[in-house]
């Protein structure tokens, strides 16, 4: 039988227990549906932390705003982000700037 590797530690020694897949190395348990959902949209911040909808992040670098003469300063907090597909994978609203799209490589999770 060809079972999937563990999504957490990538161990090949997984086994099936009823409807669950179990990893004996890290003790992670998952279902086939959960694995498909996890493989969907994976967005990480500049430090490698996984981001999810509703997170609060901070800008780690001064960013020029396209079409404007203003700059988004380092340390700016962005609340309630929404993850989307594409090059700029974070949709958000920033006080004083309005709706924006950001790249996840320029933010860190708070």
Task: Assign domain 56-109 one CATH number from 2.30.30.40, 3.40.50.300, 2.60.40.10, 1.10.443.10.
Answer: 2.30.30.40
Alpha carbon distance 82, 64 (integer Å): 21
Written in H, E and C, the secondary structure of 50-66 is EECCCCCEEECCCEECC
Give domain limits for the chain: 1-37, 56-109
User: So what's the architecture of 1-37 in CATH?
Assistant: Single Sheet (2.20)
**What is the predicted pLDDT for the residue at 36?**
52
Q: Is the pLDDT at 86 greater than 70, yes or no?
A: yes
**HSE on the CB side for 17, CA within 13 Å?**
9
| pLDDT tens, position by position, 44-78 | 899 989 898 899 999 999 999 888 888 999 999 99
- Which residues lie closer than 8 Å to 15 by C-beta, 6 or more apart? 3, 21, 22, 24
What pTM was estimated for this model as a whole? 0.62
């Amino acid at each position: 039988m060809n079972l999937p590797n563990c999504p957490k530690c990538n161990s090949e020694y997984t086994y099936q227990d009823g409807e669950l897949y179990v990893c004996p190395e890290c003790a992670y348990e998952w279902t086939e549906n959960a694995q498909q959902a996890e493989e969907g949209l994976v967005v990480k911040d500049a430090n490698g932390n996984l981001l999810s909808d509703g997170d609060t992040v901070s800008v780690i670098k001064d960013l020029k705003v396209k079409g404007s003469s203003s700059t988004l300063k380092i340390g700016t907090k962005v609340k309630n982000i929404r993850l989307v597909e594409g090059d700029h994978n974070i949709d958000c609203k920033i006080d004083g700037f309005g709706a924006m799209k950001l790249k996840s490589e320029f933010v860190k999770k708070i």
